[in-house]
Structure 1
Amino acid sequence: MLQTALQAGLRLSLQTLVKPFLTPRMPVSVLRALIRQAYRLSPPPKEARFETSVIDGVPYNRVTCGPSETENALLYLHGGAFTIGSADTHRGLTGHLARATGAAVYAPDYRLAPEHVYPAALEDALTLYRHLLSQGYLPDRISVAGDSAGGGLALALAVRLKQDKLPLPGALVMLSPWLDLTHRQMHTPEVEPVLQLGWIKAAADDYRGDLPLDDPRISPINADLTGLPPMLIQVGSQEILLNDARRLAEKAREAGVVVTLQEFDKLWHVFQIHAGPLDAANRAVEQIAQFLSQNNKE
């Protein structure tokens, strides 16, 4: 009963305190400040440790729970439609992932649009992935994850690694991934507590630079997925990006990729940020940990 009330309260808070601000009319500087405050409601576990560093101009957080040194690394790419968000806004989620997986979580502050268009975010993600390899992490013990735009960026990074003939990670995890920036096949749920289509359309234009929206580098749903590592996709039923997740799962399976698609009924875009108080988010994080334990080779 308490969890039902909490879930309803969180949904209402998102609808009334977050969604109204996600509009193209809101200046990006104001929206970034508001989102920083909103994510204060997503605290990390008390035992989570955060170290900040910079590699080749890319700032990042290294998050651990338990032993500082571990053989497993999780490169986590935050969401925010490529225009907002940071490693710090996602401290709660990365902290819970570090505790559940036992991995060292690396969360970069990749460059954001509209100041930095494609390929800035992808190049920064690639920089940190190369850094993990240089630190001695075996590719099979590295996983790449992300939420929303970060989920799309995780897929784009894997495709780029394949094209560059670099070692692929052991697994990919995508939470409510934003994969088709043409928005031609959006889901229409009865309730969408978080996203506004007009806002993500404007953000897509800010991000794409001179490339068309259907270019596979911008919309990785259109990329060649053959040879990619196993994927876990988590998505809520109450979000307009539900079809992106379903289409990716179908296309990846057709390409011979091992895919696990988990749909969560009556939950919203990147509900995992509420790990800690929300039991459904905790279960989702545990399922991520189980998936990674099966795909990070011993």
Structure 2
Amino acid sequence: MLQSALATGLRQTLQRVVKPMLNPSLGVPLQRTLIRQAYRSSLPPLGSRFQSTTLGGVDTLKVSCQSDDRYGLLYLHGGAYIVGSPATHRGLTGHLAKATGATVYAIDYRLAPKHPYPAALDDAVAAYKALLDQGIPADRLSVAGDSAGGGLSLALAMRLRDENLPLPASLTLLSPWTDLTHTSLYTPEVEPLLQQRWIDNAARLYCHGEPRNHPYISPLFGDLSGLPPMLVQVGSEEILLNDSERVARKVREQGGEVVLEVYNGLWHVFQIHAGQLSRATDAIQAAGQHIRRHQAL
């Protein structure tokens, strides 16, 4: 009963308060300020520790919660490549650190419009290589991300494969944005958070003239074979539901391993409410189990 009321309250807050912030009529700097404030309600678990560092020249937030430094999780935050940062995702990365037992490295990759594609992907590759160089083997290193960061996680794995670099032990994609052409968006009865015109504008700023179906921009148009085991989590009430379903289907068709979890009645990146909303906490626990299962001992 209480959880149902909480879910209703969160959904209404997203729709009435946060969704209007994600509006292309607002300047990107203002959007970043507003979203930073909105994420203040996403809290990490007790005992979480945060340390500023760099990886491959990329500013990084090192997150631990009873973590083992022998295991690493590279985390790529969401925000349509124009907003968001490791600071906005402290709650989510703190819960992931606790659920996985790994040290989480949330990178502050460069954002559009000042830094369009391929800046974010280049930063992700640089940070991943730096983690390998500092002694975390690929079979103890996982990659995860939400929304744009989920798509970026997939693009990172594809580029690592294409460059014959060691692949991470697993991928965890939370409501990934994987098709920036938006030709097959889902139409839920209610979309509590995302507006198509906002993601259309963000895609334009990020692509900056590059084709939106470029495989490293929209991984759904690329080769998804030979990638690490994946977990994809998505809510049923989001316009990006089809992105997740199509990724899972294509990975299976190309011989890969993927688990798709659709959470009925929940919204885009609902995992930010872990520690409050029980189903979000359960989703993070499932992600932790997936990551731990595929890490080398």
Q: Same fold (TM over 0.5)?
A: yes
For residue 58 of structure 2, what is the aligned residue in structure 1?
58
CA–CA separation in structure 1 for the residues paired with 2:86 and 2:29: 17
Alignment partner of 1:238: what SS?
A: coil
Alpha carbons of structure 1 residues 275 and 139: separation in structure 2 relative to 1, 3 Å: same
Is 2:246 the counterpart of 1:252? no
For residue 27 of structure 1, what is the aligned residue in structure 2?
27
CA–CA separation in structure 2 for the residues paired with 1:206 and 1:116: 9
The residue correspondences of 1:180-219 to structure 2 (distance < 5 A) are 180-219=179-218
- State the number of aligned residues: 297
CA–CA separation in structure 2 for the residues paired with 1:296 and 1:71: 11
Is 2:173 the counterpart of 1:174? yes
Q: 1:195-220, CA deviations, whole angstroms, 9 ceiling, x for partnerless residues?
A: 00000000000001231111112111
CA–CA separation in structure 2 for the residues paired with 1:230 and 1:54: 27
For residue 74 of structure 2, what is the aligned residue in structure 1?
75
Please tell me the residue identity of whatever aligns with 1:145: A
Alignment partner of 1:36: what SS?
A: helix
Alignment partner of 2:45: what SS?
A: coil
CA–CA separation in structure 1 for the residues paired with 2:56 and 2:246: 35
In the TM superposition, residue 33 of structure 1 has moved relative to its aligned partner by 0.3
Is 2:248 the counterpart of 1:226? no
Alignment partner of 1:39: what SS?
A: helix
In the TM superposition, residue 186 of structure 1 has moved relative to its aligned partner by 0.4
For residue 149 of structure 1, what is the aligned residue in structure 2?
148
For residue 124 of structure 1, what is the aligned residue in structure 2?
123
For residue 13 of structure 1, what is the aligned residue in structure 2?
13
Q: 1:167-214, CA deviations, whole angstroms, 9 ceiling, x for partnerless residues?
A: 000100000000000000000000100000000000000001231111
TM-score (norm 2): 0.99
CA–CA separation in structure 1 for the residues paired with 2:28 and 2:209: 20
Alignment partner of 2:265: what SS?
A: strand
CA–CA separation in structure 1 for the residues paired with 2:40 and 2:23: 21
For residue 134 of structure 1, what is the aligned residue in structure 2?
133
Alignment partner of 1:268: what SS?
A: coil
2:45–2:94 CA contact under 8 A, matched in 1: yes
CA–CA separation in structure 2 for the residues paired with 1:28 and 1:160: 29
Please tell me the residue identity of whatever aligns with 1:19: K
* Unaligned 5+ runs, structure 2: none
CA–CA separation in structure 2 for the residues paired with 1:94 and 1:134: 23
Q: 1:23-60, CA deviations, whole angstroms, 9 ceiling, x for partnerless residues?
A: 11010000000011001000111200001012343100
CA–CA separation in structure 2 for the residues paired with 1:128 and 1:264: 31
Task: Provide the alpha-carbon RMSD of the alignment.
Answer: 0.8
Is 2:93 the counterpart of 1:94? yes
Alignment partner of 1:43: what SS?
A: coil
Please tell me the residue identity of whatever aligns with 2:140: R
- Find runs of 4+ consecutive structure 1 residues off by over 4 angstroms: none
- Identical aligned residues as a percent: 57
For residue 44 of structure 1, what is the aligned residue in structure 2?
44
In the TM superposition, residue 118 of structure 1 has moved relative to its aligned partner by 0.4
In the TM superposition, residue 105 of structure 1 has moved relative to its aligned partner by 0.2
Please tell me the residue identity of whatever aligns with 1:97: L
Alignment partner of 2:16: what SS?
A: helix
The residue correspondences of 1:260-271 to structure 2 (distance < 5 A) are 260-271=259-270
Q: 1:50-83, CA deviations, whole angstroms, 9 ceiling, x for partnerless residues?
A: 010123431000101115x432111000000000
Alignment partner of 1:266: what SS?
A: coil
Q: 1:90-129, CA deviations, whole angstroms, 9 ceiling, x for partnerless residues?
A: 0000000001110000000000000001000001111110
For residue 289 of structure 2, what is the aligned residue in structure 1?
290
CA–CA separation in structure 2 for the residues paired with 1:243 and 1:194: 16
For residue 3 of structure 1, what is the aligned residue in structure 2?
3
CA–CA separation in structure 1 for the residues paired with 2:256 and 2:131: 24
Please tell me the residue identity of whatever aligns with 2:151: G
In the TM superposition, residue 147 of structure 1 has moved relative to its aligned partner by 0.2
